[in-house]
Structure formats: structure tokens, C-alpha cells
């Protein structure tokens, strides 16, 4: 990946609220299924904005910190997804999204971020990201002291 797109907590909350508006009215949803781990924080934000109390998880491992690898399903929510929002932070190449679609064919699958290869696999997303860009999510970063330029 040649470029990086850094997401702050504020940016994430703003984009999640935009997505929540698109998911109204809330009465159409039985609950939310978060794709662990990337979808956990977005799921919490959507659950808050839509006042949804039922949140479950599907646990899929398909990434190291910066490399895709073999996919493993560690835990799945029951059912075919009817009446549920399934959320992940992003859709990239579409491998995780294809697995989600197979598990939950009747779910409404959404992400905050989408790259071109994965866009056709989600029902909605908020932010377009170029395919060759790595997204740095706020939960993967820490705050560090940086010396003033004049002190270097």
C-alpha cells in the first residue's frame, strides 16, 4: 500500500452519524451484528445513534496489522441476518464481505469506508478510499509527544 489515510476519533464519529441517518427509521432493525474487530467501534456508534440495544458479533480473522491472510471464522451470530445491520469498518478486496454475504444473505451490510474492489458487496458505505490506500484506524494508533521543529 503506497498511501495512508489516517482516521481520527472525531472523523469516525462524524461518518458513523452520517451512516446512522441513512439507516433510519430504526424500527426496521432487530439489531446489529458487528464484524470483529474492525466493526466493533462502528457498531457501538450506530447502536447509540439508532438506540439499538441488541448487538451481536461475527468474529472473522483476515488481517495481520498490515497484511491480508487466510480467513478464519471464529464465531458467528445465529440466523440469516434478516432485520439486522451487519457493520464492518471497511470493505477492501471483498474477501471478508463475501464471507459475510454467504453467512447473512438477508442482512443489510454496511461499512464506514469502502475501496473500489469491495464497494459492490456492501449495501451502503460513507467514505470512498482508493484501493492502494491503507486506513489507519484510531484504535490502532496512540498519541505520542513530538519535539518542536526548532528543538531538533
% of residues, the chain, pLDDT over 90: 82
Catalytic residue among 56, 80, 89, 124: 89
User: What percent of the chain has a predicted confidence (pLDDT) above 70?
Assistant: 94
Residue 86, classed as helix, strand or coil, is: strand
- E strand spans, 1-67: 3-6, 31-36, 55-63
Spatial distance between the Cα atoms of 69 and 7, rounded to a whole number of angstroms: 23
Fold designation for 3-151: Rossmann fold (3.40.50)
Spatial contact of 15 and 126, defined as CB atoms under 8 Å apart: yes
pLDDT band at 4 (very low <50, low <70, confident <90, very high): very high
Predicted confidence (pLDDT) per residue in 63-77, tens digit: 555 565 678 899 999
- Would residue 92 show up in a list of annotated catalytic residues for this protein? yes
Annotated active-site residue in 10, 80, 88, 151: 88
Confirm whether pTM is higher than 0.75: yes
Average pLDDT of the chain? Answer: 93
pLDDT of residue 68: 58
pLDDT tens digits along 117-131: 999 999 999 999 999
Side-by-side strand order, sheet with 68-75: 68-75, 55-63, 31-36, 84-91, 108-114, 127-128
The answer to whether residue 89 is catalytic is yes
Which contacts qualify for 18-27: CB closer than 8 Å, 24 or more apart?
18/126, 19/46, 19/110, 19/112, 19/124, 19/125, 19/126, 20/45, 20/46, 20/49, 20/50, 22/124, 23/50, 23/85, 23/108, 23/110, 23/124, 24/50, 26/50, 26/51, 26/52
Q: What residue ranges do the domains of the chain occupy?
A: 3-151
Q: Given 66, 92, 132, 140, which residue is catalytic?
A: 92
pLDDT of 110 over the 90 cut: yes
Q: Which residues sit in the known binding site for guanine?
A: 92, 135
- Does the pLDDT of residue 89 top 60, yes or no? yes
Amino acid at each position: 500500500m503506497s498511501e495512508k489515510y489516517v482516521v481520527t476519533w472525531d472523523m469516525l464519529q462524524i461518518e458513523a452519524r452520517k451512516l446512522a441517518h441513512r439507516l433510519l427509521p430504526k424500527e426496521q432493525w432487530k439489531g446489529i451484528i458487528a464484524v470483529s474487530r474492525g466493526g466493533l467501534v462502528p457498531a457501538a456508534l450506530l447502536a447509540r445513534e439508532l438506540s439499538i440495544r441488541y448487538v451481536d458479533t461475527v468474529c472473522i480473522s483476515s488481517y495481520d496489522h498490515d497484511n491480508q491472510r487466510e480467513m478464519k471464522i471464529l464465531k458467528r451470530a445465529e440466523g440469516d441476518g434478516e432485520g439486522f445491520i451487519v457493520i464492518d469498518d471497511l470493505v477492501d478486496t471483498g474477501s471478508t464481505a463475501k464471507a459475510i454475504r454467504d453467512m447473512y444473505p438477508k442482512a443489510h451490510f454496511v461499512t464506514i469506508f469502502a475501496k473500489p474492489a469491495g464497494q459492490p458487496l456492501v449495501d451502503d458505505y460513507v467514505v470512498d478510499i482508493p484501493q492502494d490506500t491503507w486506513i489507519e484506524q484510531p484504535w490502532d494508533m496512540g498519541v505520542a509527544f513530538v519535539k518542536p521543529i526548532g528543538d531538533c
